[in-house]
Amino acid sequence: MKKKTIIRYILIVAIFVITILEIAPIILIILNSFKTDKEIWFGNPFSFFIPTLNSYHNVISSTTFTHGLLISLIVGVLVTIISVMLGALAAYGLTRFKFRGRNVIAYSMLSSRMIPQLALMVPFYMLFRTFGMLDMTPSLVIAYISFNIPYAIWMLLPFFASVPKSFEEAATIDGASRNQIFWRIVLPLAVPGLSVASIFVFINSWNEFLYALILTGSKDQTAPIAIMGYLGEYTPKWGEISAAGMIMLIPAFIIALFMQKYVIEGLSIGGVKG
Amino acid sequence: MDENKRRRRGFPPSLYFILPATLTVGIIVAFPLFYAFFMSLFNWPLVGAQRTFIGLGNYLSMFEDNEFINSVLRQVGVVVIAVPIELIIGFFVAILFDRKFPGSKILRSLVLLPAFVLPVLSGLTWRLMLAPQYGPLTYLMQIMGFPNQAWLANPQLAYATVIIQDVWRMWPFMFAFIYGGLMNVPKELIEAAKIDGSGFWNTILKILLPVLEPTIAIAVMFRIVDILRIFPEVYVMTGGGPGDATMLFSLYIQEQAFSFFNIGYASAMSMLLLAVSIVIAIFLAKNVFEANES
């Protein structure tokens, strides 16, 4: 019995150690965001330092970064609304109706979630160039929903599949139309799924780099591209990179600290249900 | 209900739900993919000169392009090395976390944080940690007796760093999958094994692995598809260098398209990447869709 408790304590200590090692790089970002570039370049990385908000000040007063933040935010919100809305309709349709071609649509939707963004990079660039839409916010929204609609359907399928049909049958008897049933009965029941999907779609768009790099120039640059700009020609401004990174990490912190129950569910949806 | 159905015969209700997403994806995914295939049949420079039709020429030249072959091998190397490591770490940490203790929830969330870190920020942070002179990891290595060197300037070490970076960021993803799966394993099953005197390894091999197999298979496939498109991390960390040491397939496509302006050739390579992903995807989609059917 005693041996068992000792093992238990050892294991818990191991968990703590693993966690600290795992988040060490993030702690480094936090610390560096309160240092000056000079302290990072010339100081001992582990020595004591007096925290300063200098880097945050520089980052926030740089229009390149704040404009990037604004674009990232606008794109993120639009992409989330469009993808989750269309995704919810499709996921409901796929779980509730039997019709010809259903399997084909289901398979192609679900497999397009796996299409690498990289495969669409060249055609998107060429098409947007042809239509004179390079460096424009709508192009980014289009490019981002291309992979987020299938992603949203993928995430929402299990949630809609688990809404009991008996509710709907009861409503049908009461004379409600399909439309009413969806908007008034099914959708409210699927709110947890919609929240999980929204969070993950937003993060997908917020973190995206490749399309932003290819499709935007100076005008409609997103924040992740603006962060890269701090690398400079020879001397990376690590303080600014870290401060800007901290601002970009806010959604991640919110999810991890306040929406714990959604995280595992969201990350492992295919796994748990499969 | 029958009457209702008849009245709407002209417009089946299923279309109302399915059509918006299907049309949108058809226009913004399927059409560009066909366009990419079309471009892949041409010698198509991004600027200036005329494009010329060369049929499957681009596909054939891939086999003669050593840089292409090497970039594919490097990418496969990353998959083959990183994914199993991520799986093993994720698996055992999931087992570790499968117990109640004070603070377990918050630790679990913290461990998952890296999976949400922007890839570009992750790449930059690893670049900082390994910077010569002032990088914290370089500093620790020096204390441990390693020479003060520019890690990312050494081809082998740079390649290793690409893998380590990915393992750091993505083993928590494997962890989340397997932890989620573990929650669904009936506790009686494990208790029964314990009562039977089954040891730790035996319980894992005989009970946990078979039960978790579908979960693990899906997690691994997700990771493979995702790691095939690894880009921002490497782009800002090494830019494919030093030399070509970390020029992965994904970076090579981008370079061919936007540094060498070979749009046709880059499209042909995109098609290849697409084909590989689709094979994995169909398998996965079948699994998931059928699971939701029952």
A5-14, A70-79, A126-135, A191-200 — which one is most confidently predicted on average?
A: A70-79
Could you report the per-residue pLDDT of B77-102, keeping only the tens digit for each? 999 999 999 999 999 999 898 888 88
Predicted pLDDT of residue A273: 25
B39 chain-A contacts, CB cut-off 8 A: 122-123, 126
Place of tokens 């949203």: A152
Could you report the per-residue pLDDT of B123-165, keeping only the tens digit for each? 999 999 998 888 889 888 888 888 777 888 899 999 999 999 9
CA distance A135 to chain B (A): 16
Predicted pLDDT of residue B98: 85
Residue B54 is assigned to a structural domain of this protein: no
**pLDDT band at A270; cut points 50, 70, 90:** very low
CATH class of domain segment(s) A62-166+193-273: mainly alpha
**Nearest residue of chain A to residue B38 (CA atoms):** A123
**DSSP, res B53:** E
| Number of domains chain B contains | 1
d(CA B274, CA B292): 26
Q: How far is CA B23 from CA A11, A76, A204, B20, in A?
A: 52, 21, 22, 5
Could you report the per-residue pLDDT of A144-154, keeping only the tens digit for each? 999 899 989 98
- Evaluate whether B43 touches B266 at the Cβ level (below 8 Å): no
Interface test with B, best of A3, A89, A114, A151 (most B CBs within 10 A): A114
- Evaluate whether B255 touches B70 at the Cβ level (below 8 Å): no
Q: Do A89 and B18 touch (CB under 8 A)?
A: yes
Nearest to A18 among B93, B99, B129 (CB): B93
- Evaluate whether B89 touches B167 at the Cβ level (below 8 Å): yes
Q: How far is CA B55 from CA B23, B31, B40, B58, B270, in A?
A: 30, 20, 8, 8, 16
Residue B268 is assigned to a structural domain of this protein: yes
Can the peptide bond before residue B242 be classed as cis, meaning omega within 30 degrees of 0? yes
Neighbour count for residue A41 (Cβ, 10 Å): 16
SS3 of B92-103: HHHHHHCCCCCC
Could you report the per-residue pLDDT of B193-207, keeping only the tens digit for each? 777 777 777 777 777
**Nearest residue of chain A to residue B231 (CA atoms):** A210
- Evaluate whether A269 touches A158 at the Cβ level (below 8 Å): yes
**pLDDT band at A26; cut points 50, 70, 90:** very high
A150-164, A260-274, B188-202 — which one is most confidently predicted on average?
A: A150-164
Which amino acid, B40? S
CA distance A51 to chain B (A): 18
Residue B219 is assigned to a structural domain of this protein: yes
CB within 8 Å of B52: residues ≥ 6 apart: B42, B43
Place of tokens 């005197």: B197
Burial of B226-252, coded b for 16+ CB within 10 Å and e otherwise, reads: bbbbbbbbbbbbbebebebbbbbbbbb
Q: Give the residue numbers spanning the domain of B186.
A: 65-293
What H or E segment, with its residue span, contains residue A238?
helix A238-248
CB within 8 Å of B288: residues ≥ 6 apart: A110, A154, A157, A270, A273, A274, B218
- CATH classification at residue B264: 1.10.3720.10
The three-state secondary structure class of A136 is coil
Residue B233 is assigned to a structural domain of this protein: yes
- Evaluate whether A168 touches B1 at the Cβ level (below 8 Å): no
**pLDDT band at A271; cut points 50, 70, 90:** very low
Domain chopping of chain A, boundaries: 62-166+193-273
Task: Report mean pLDDT in 10-residue bins for chain B, 294 residues.
Answer: 50 81 91 92 81 86 90 94 95 89 86 91 93 86 83 91 94 89 79 74 79 83 84 91 90 91 91 88 70 58
Predicted pLDDT of residue A4: 80
A15 has pLDDT over 80: yes
Predicted pLDDT of residue B3: 47
Q: Is residue B170 packed enough to be buried (19+ CB in 10 Å), middle (13-18) or exposed (0-12)?
A: buried
A209 chain-B contacts, CB cut-off 8 A: 118-120, 231-232, 235
Q: Do A274 and B139 touch (CB under 8 A)?
A: no
Residue B231 is assigned to a structural domain of this protein: yes
Place of tokens 């991890």: A256
Chain B contact for A134, CB < 8 A?
no
CA proximity to A252, closest of B15, B227, B119, B49 = B119
Q: Does this model's pTM top 0.95? A: no
With vertex at residue A13, the alpha carbon angle to CA A242 and CA A250, rounded to the nearest 5 degrees, is: 25
Place of tokens 């749009």: B263
CA distance B75 to chain A (A): 14
**Nearest residue of chain B to residue A16 (CA atoms):** B107
d(CA A120, CA A146): 9
ipTM of the shown complex: 0.89
d(CA B96, CA A256): 19
Interface test with B, best of A5, A8, A22, A128 (most B CBs within 10 A): A22
Predicted pLDDT of residue A63: 87
Predicted pLDDT of residue A272: 29
> Higher pLDDT residue, B267 or A185?
B267
CB within 8 Å of A124: residues ≥ 6 apart: A139, A143, A146, A211, A214, A215, B32
Percent of chain A with pLDDT over 70: 96
Q: Do A18 and B96 touch (CB under 8 A)?
A: yes
Chain A contact for B120, CB < 8 A?
yes
A179-188, long-range: CB < 8 A, 24+ apart? A179/B16, A182/A89, A182/A92, A182/B17, A186/A92, A186/A160, A187/A88
CB within 8 Å of A45: residues ≥ 6 apart: B134, B135, B136, B139
Could you report the per-residue pLDDT of A215-258, keeping only the tens digit for each? 988 788 899 999 998 988 778 889 999 999 999 999 888 887 77
d(CA A32, CA B240): 26
